[in-house]
Every structure is written in C-alpha cells, then in structure tokens.
A and B are shown apart, each in its own frame.
Chain A
Amino acid sequence: MHQDHPVKLVVTDDLRRSRPRVFFTLLLAIPHFVWLFLWTVLMVVVVILNWVVALATGRPAAALHRLTCSYIRYATHVNAYVDLVANPYPGFSGEEGKYPIDVRLPELTPQSRWKTFFRLFLAVPALVMASALGGGGITYTTSSSGRSRFAGASARGALAITCAVLGWFASMAQGHMPKGLRDASAYSLGYTAQVMAYLLLVTDRYPDADPTAMLDGVGRPPVHTVRLVGDADDLRFSRLTVFFRLLLTIPHFVWLVLWGIAVFVAAILNWFVTLFRGTPARSLHAFISRYVRYQLHVYAFLYLAANPFPGFDGAPGRYPLDLQLPEPARQNRWKTGFRIVLAVPALAVNGALGYGLAAAAFLTWFVALARGSAPWGLRNFSAYALRYQAQANAYLLLLTDAYPHASPLEGAESPQHEFAEAA
C-alpha cells in the first residue's frame, strides 16, 4: 500500500525548551533569516542550472545536488528553530545529523525527464498543501499594485504558525514544548521539506502527506478517549458521488444546523449538570455523542476521507470512518467550569488544520475523480484533521475532559515519550 519516501524527517528532539531562547526566538533568528534569504536568492540560479543539467543528462549535477540538499536541511533547521520544534540554535551550513529536527535526503539518482520538464507545474498541488500546513523555506513574491515585491523569506502555513504561537506560550510556562504541537509542527516541516526536495530536483518522488509515515520513529502519544476506527485501506471512491460531493452534503448541512441548535442547548444543560454532579448526564451525553459522531461522518464524506453517503442519525458502527467516544465519566470541575476558555487553543489548532483539510479535499477531489480512489497520504492527513476536530468537539461539548492531542500519530497503549512530560 505504501512505500517509504526518500526524504525522511528525523526527530531526536526531547521537547525541553530554554525559556530565554523561547522568549527571544524571533530576534535570535534574525541572522538566520538574512542568511536564508541570501541562500534562497542563490538557489533560484542553482535550481535553473540544475534543471537544464537534469534535462540534458537525465540527472542533476552532483555539486548542485549537494548544495540543494544543504539548503533544504538548513531551511528545515531554521524553521524548526523558529517554530519551536527544536530547541538548539541551528548552524548556518545545513549539515546532516547535527540538529534534533533533521532531514535525510536521497543520493543523486537519475530522474524522469518528463517529470523534470514539468516540475514546476507538477509541484503546484503539493505547494497548495504545503501552504496550508506551513514549515516554509521557499522565497516567494507577491504583486502589489502591479509591482512585484518580496513578501518574505519563507512561506508560512496556518498549522505551523498556530502551533508555534501556542507552543511559545506553553514553552514559556512549562519549559517544554507540548508533544502534540511539536509533532504537528514537525509533520508540517517534513512535508515542506519533501515539497522543496521535489521542486528543487533533489528527487522526482512526489511529496507524501501521510502523517504516520512522516513521523515514523517518533514516539506515539497515549491513547485518547476519542479516537477514529475504521478500515484504513479502503480508498475506493465513486466518481459520480465525488463529482457532486458538495451538493450531496447540503441536506446534511441543514440537518447539522438544526441538530446543532438542540445540541447547543443540551451542552449548556450538560455544563450545569457536570459542574454540580461532576459527571455528565447520561442522556445528554448520549445525545451529544451522536451529534459529534454524525458531524465526523458528514465531514468525512464532504472532505473525501470516506466514500459512502452517511446516515442522518450518527449511529455508531455504520460508517467506514467512525468515532469511538467515551462513556460518561467523572470530570474535573475546574476544567468543566472554564471549558470554553480552555478550549480556545484547541479550536485554534482545529481552525489551522481546517485549512489543510480543505486543501486536501480540493486535491483529493481531482485525483478521486480521475482514478476512482483517494490518495493514501491525503486521505490519512484528512483522517488526522477530522480526528482532531472530533476530539476538540468532544472536549468543548463536555463528552470528555481529556484535552485534544494535536499529534498526527495515533495513540499507543504504552506511549513512548522522548521526554516524560510530567518530569
């Protein structure tokens, strides 16, 4: 089903963060921004030369390949530093194996001339996805009033920025980066590195958005009480329902809104019950659980993470991408009392993932229409985003007091932490 990508993200970060370094991150990064900008200007020339060489000989020039690899690694190091994905101050040379967030890039190999010739156009879908996820590293220009100008040294995506901002506050408070935010940012950096490697002719292998493959080797978080279940290998799609997907979802939108009004009232009632009793009311819990599950089914259908038309009742076990929700259990009253405030960071991450989800659905639509099946990587990314959304909804609507986990990795029964977060 899935082949290893030649561009591998290597994560050896231990989540510890130095508070002074975190506080002054952007100021300390200024020399890197300048250097990255100059290097990027050089890379524009290098990549054009390399493109000509690759077209003529069928493979890029060895020296240019090495220079490009160093550039990609360096951009990844700098962005990992700025996004608080790693703690140490990075070097300026993009050396391999010297930074806790690193990229392993492939040796020089022959590349298809067709893919090389059309590389810029072929990279557009991956760039769309990268712009939603972030990580950055590619200089781009924008036109303002008909005049071009530099907009920045690195493209920033919603997920990377959100995780960095939230991570900044968390690191300042705790002295370490929350694993979920770190993993999400690392994933976006890894994906961006794959896009750069493809665009800059390091490899002709297309970027893979699969979060699990990207974070292979990274410790998995503990199992969350809200998790996805279903057949991961079923990628088959009906072209007709794909074509009309948005329209077919409209009745579900209407039903979601109507049901949502009732759930809003039920959630307020449940908040009082949970606050006073310490445990949600069973009937309200069941009612809201169905809604959260139904919402997942509808969005899985809309965003092309699953194929069949969903039912309108949110019943468990009826949809290929389903949600396992906890039974009513005792909840911390403080967490219940301040639930809306506490949910704000989770909602921010959810919003950021929403951009990626929309981009993934947009791209999947074309692929599924052409092939009759969804791309493995994009589908898995969508599942990750939907899982987080369900966890955030369950948290906000008092189904659980377990905070949503932003890590793209599924939880493991015995979590392998690189760093004991309680330490």
Chain B
Amino acid sequence: MIRRASLLAAAAAVWGVAAWFLWRTTVPSSLHLPHVDEHGFFTAAQLHAAASFSRVEDILFWGTTLLQIAALAAFARWGARWARESAAGPVGTGMLLGMLGFALVWVVQLPLEVVDLWWQRRHDLSKVGYTSFLFGDWFSLAGQFVFLCLALAIVMGLARRFRSTWWIWAAPPFIGLTLLFAFVSPYLVTTHPLHSARLRAIASRLEVQEGVGHVPIEVQDIHDVTSLPNSEATGLGPSRRVIIFDTMLDGRFTTGELKVVIGHELGHLARHHIWKDVGWYALFAFPGLFLIAQVTKLRGGLREPAAVPLALLALVVLDLFALPLQNAISRHMEAEADWRALVTTRDPKDAIALFRRFVPTTLDEPNPSTWDYVMLENHPTIVQRIAMAEAYATSAAQSP
C-alpha cells in the first residue's frame, strides 16, 4: 500500500514538474492586460452578426456532443451483441465493434452536421456542396476507421499480453504515433510556395529575429472550400513550415497584418509549441489510458472485445472533461505566439487591425460568455488579443 502510494506520489511529482516546464512562457508575468470594451472596436452590426452566428454554432456543438454521448452510451449498453457478426478473433472483433461505434456516431451526428454546413453556407463561410460534404465525410470516416483499428490493435494486443498494466505500455506507442503524425502532417496537404516577394522578405527578417532558421512559407489553396482566413505552424525538424490559407491573401488583409500572422506562426515554431503539444499529449496519455483501463474492467478489461464499446464511451466522456484543460493549454500557447509576433514585428497597430478584421471575416464573438470561453475557445478571445497588443504598445512606449 505504502509502496503504491509512494509510486503514485512520485508519478504525480514527475507529472507536475513536466507540466511546469511545458507551461513556461515568454509572456511577461508582469504584463497587465487593460480592459477593452468591444463596442469601441466593433460596430453594433458586427457584434450582432457574430453573436447570432455563434449562438447557433454553440447549439450545434452541444447537440452533436450530446448525440455522440447518447449514441455511444446506447452502443456501450447493447453494442457487444454485434460481436457475433465477427469471425475475426478477439482483437479483430474489437476492431469491428469500434468501427461500428464510430459509424453509429457518424449516422446520428450527420443531420446536425448538415445543418451546420447549411448555417455556414448561409453566412458565406463554407463553400462545400452538400454532396461533396457527404462524400468527404465518408472519406474522413474511412481515415478514422484505419486509425481506430490501429489504436485498438495496440491497446487490445497489449491488454491481452500485460493484463491490468497494459495502459503503461500503451502510452509510448501512442506518443510515438503522435510524434510521427506531427512530423508527416505537413506532407499530407497540398501547398505551393508563397509568391509575394515582399512577404517572403518580411518572413526572412522575422526568421532571423526569432532565430528559427529557414522555415518555408507555403500557401494552401482552400478558397473553394471556405472563406475563413487561417494559418498554421506545422511539422517537426525538416518538415517544419508555416502554411497560410489563400483566403488570407485575397486582399482582405494588408501586408502589415500578414506580417503579424507570419510573426505569430514563427513564434509557435520558435517556442517549440508543436513539441510542447506532443509533450502535453504524453502527460495526458498515461492518466487517460489508466482511467479507460479502470472503466473497461467492468466488462472484463480491454482484452475482451465486449469492453470496446464502453472504452469508446469512456474516451469521449474523458475527452469532453479534458476539453477545458486542453483549451486552456492551447490559449496559453497562442497567447505566447501573439506576444512573439508583437515582439518581433513591433507593430501593435497592425496586430490590432488584424484581430479586428477577424470578427467580420470569421464571425467569432470578440468577447464570448465564460461557458463558451472555457469549452470552445482554443485561442485567446479577440478582446484579449487586442488587450495584449495595447499592453505591448504601452510597455514599448514606456521603455527607453
């Protein structure tokens, strides 16, 4: 008992230390964010449009989440009966049950997803047709099936070999897979180099300032799918790159604003946020798998295919509970990337202009409710981002 408690305490201490290292940021702890009134930056019409759009999006998010949980709860209760449709042995049968669970979730969520598409098309944010949406969804479901089967093969194989301690052995392969995916993901999207010589020159200067070495700036053509502006820093080591959606380069954003965007993404790379993402994943993988192992003991453990439906339910519920924490971590890193962009560009005006332009172009609420903030926002709110830019401007003005 004492040995167990000591082990647990040691593991918790290691976890805490690792989390502390991952949480460290270059945003000054003394930085005071001023109060920002959104009415001073946005028109009433803009605020109304963002609020009405977000209200329906929130309903749809909660609708699909609840439907997902309900479907998986029903599947956890009755799904094991489909094991008789398998001649694949325990692991293969587990895969079948896992895929059927995902398929059921897809079916029950589909109507709301179609409504979501309709809502986004109505606001000119999506350009995906209903037919291509349905077919595209099938392809995405197919990809999920492959990943799910791989995951179940790992956990069930280990559960059959190591019984109750399988979760300790299962975490490293998943962390390895996450690392692999982080490395290869830039190669999975079709991009082309940034044409603008001016932006390339700006990017080169920012790379030097951040000390990240050469990072390719790529453009992803996405304008026939969505009008949403976005960009991302992606890849590890030689696969590192910044990808900008071509919807950011269609004239709606000025060169100064794009400079802030590039600075933000290079900030992610300079502060090793993708590595940190994998680190956080590793920290959550162990307790997450442990909890799943405990829950599935109710059905004989994950070595039994009958436990798979319950494992899916546990995974989704855990994921929902972990969402506020995941969002907090993501917001923390995004805030640091914003800060790096301000430090390297020294241009709070363009940063504020960029953040202001996000409201009419993305219909994001500048200052959402606390509930939305906790559960849905993985970036600082627009108001917080503007406040940081103002705080930087103030501190820059005060420094000699």
B87 near A311: Cβ-Cβ < 8 Å = yes
The proximity string for B residues 131-149 relative to A, scoring 1 for CB distances below 8 Å and 0 otherwise, is 0000000100110011001
Instruction: List CB contacts (< 8 Å) of A281-316 with chain B.
Output: 297, 307-313
**Interface residues of B, count at CB 8 A:** 20
A251 near B88: Cβ-Cβ < 8 Å = no
For B89, what are the chain A residues with a Cβ–Cβ distance below 8 Å? 311, 313, 318
A244 near B100: Cβ-Cβ < 8 Å = yes
A308 near B141: Cβ-Cβ < 8 Å = no
CB distance from A241 to the nearest CB of B (A): 5
The proximity string for B residues 73-93 relative to A, scoring 1 for CB distances below 8 Å and 0 otherwise, is 000000000100111110111
CB distance from B295 to the nearest CB of A (A): 24
Q: Say yes or no: is A222 at the interface (Cβ < 8 Å to chain B).
A: no
The residue in B88, B103, B142, B145 that gathers the most chain A C-beta atoms within 10 A of its C-beta is B88
For A42, what are the chain B residues with a Cβ–Cβ distance below 8 Å? none
For B93, what are the chain A residues with a Cβ–Cβ distance below 8 Å? 309
Q: Say yes or no: is A250 at the interface (Cβ < 8 Å to chain B).
A: yes
**Interface residues of A, count at CB 8 A:** 21
B88 near A241: Cβ-Cβ < 8 Å = no
Q: Say yes or no: is A57 at the interface (Cβ < 8 Å to chain B).
A: no
B92 near A312: Cβ-Cβ < 8 Å = yes
A308 near B103: Cβ-Cβ < 8 Å = no
For A56, what are the chain B residues with a Cβ–Cβ distance below 8 Å? none
A312 near B142: Cβ-Cβ < 8 Å = no
B95 near A319: Cβ-Cβ < 8 Å = no
Which residue of chain B is the closest to A244 with respect to CB atoms? B103
Q: Say yes or no: is B243 at the interface (Cβ < 8 Å to chain A).
A: no
Select A238's contact among B85, B87, B95, beta carbons within 8 Å: B85
CA distance A116 to B56 in the complex (A): 52
Which residue of chain A is the closest to B92 with respect to CB atoms? A311
A309 near B88: Cβ-Cβ < 8 Å = yes
The proximity string for B residues 265-298 relative to A, scoring 1 for CB distances below 8 Å and 0 otherwise, is 0000000000000000000000000000000000
Which residue of chain B is the closest to A238 with respect to CB atoms? B85
Instruction: List CB contacts (< 8 Å) of A248-269 with chain B.
Output: 248, 250-251, 254
Instruction: List CB contacts (< 8 Å) of A222-255 with chain B.
Output: 238, 240-241, 243-244, 247-248, 250-251, 254
Q: Say yes or no: is B96 at the interface (Cβ < 8 Å to chain A).
A: yes
For B103, what are the chain A residues with a Cβ–Cβ distance below 8 Å? 240, 243-244, 247-248
For A238, what are the chain B residues with a Cβ–Cβ distance below 8 Å? 82, 85
- Please report A residues at the B interface, Cβ cutoff 8 Å: 238, 240-241, 243-244, 247-248, 250-251, 254, 297, 307-313, 318-320
Can you list 12 pairs linking A and B with CB atoms under 8 Å apart?
A240-B85, A240-B100, A240-B103, A243-B103, A248-B100, A251-B99, A308-B85, A310-B88, A310-B92, A311-B88, A311-B89, A318-B89
- Please report B residues at the A interface, Cβ cutoff 8 Å: 82, 85-89, 91-93, 95-96, 99-100, 103, 138, 141-142, 145-146, 149
Q: Which 8 A-B pairs have the closest CB atoms?
A: A308-B87, A251-B149, A311-B88, A309-B96, A309-B86, A238-B85, A244-B103, A311-B92
